[in-house]
Amino acid sequence: MHNYNGNVAVIILAAGMGTRMKSDKAKVLHTICNKPMINYVVETAVKIAGRNVIAVVGHQADMVRQIVSKDAEVKYAHQKEQLGTGHATMCAIAQIPENIKDIIVLCGDVPNLSSETILNLIDKHKNENNDATVLAVEIEDPQGYGRIIVDGNKKFVKIVEESDANEYEKAIKVINSGIYCVDKIFLENSLAKIRNSNAQNEYYLTDIIEIGNTENKKIGLFVSEDYTEVIGVNSHDDLLLAEKLMERKNF
């Protein structure tokens, strides 16, 4: 494994409310094994990028900052309106130091992801000289996740969100984890081009993949074998599952 500290930055998307949690508390502040789930993500991010970690906060921003800052020194970007993952990433770009070559995008509600898996993602991204590399997994029940679309030549062409997917696309079991390694310049340029013409009227970060392919950029895919690492927390059932996985990992 390589040490990329100083070469990469990490953006953590942590601005959402999490309405399916049926709680007034910001989603990322719900606890797993008595620790706010975002703290697990921040710990992993710091291992990768040191001080070059930017958390995008929004719902209960002050509380999230206060809790994260007790254990880690990170920067913060504020997403005033939750207009999608692409918009959240845009909010953080100004905080990225000029010397950074690649940016990792993580989700504040995916607490079980290991630093080893992220390093493997970066390795693939760098070794293949990609402009963007997406972490994907194959799962039996892909409902709710964006699907990885490949063409007849097995080229990765785009990600389709479930709400925008047709029946054929919904049957695909390889899904987007929401975790990316992206060249900084390509990310800045492609974020300026995404639009909110979709079912949710949001700016999807996933759209940078289709933009990259249109512009003949090199887009890669890293399929992790352990799908449990990228399970997101969107409900209390998910929270219980994440806790079981964390307990198993730390046993």
| Residues labelled as active-site residues | 20
Query: CA 178 to CA 118: how far, in whole Å?
Result: 12
8 Å CB contact between 233 and 27? yes
Quick one: residue 154, left, alpha or beta (phi over 0 = left, psi -120 to 50 = alpha)? Answer: left
Query: CA 163 to CA 108: how far, in whole Å?
Result: 22
Query: CA 146 to CA 177: how far, in whole Å?
Result: 8
- Least Cα distance to 60 among 109, 104, 17 occurs for 17
222, two tokens: 């890293």
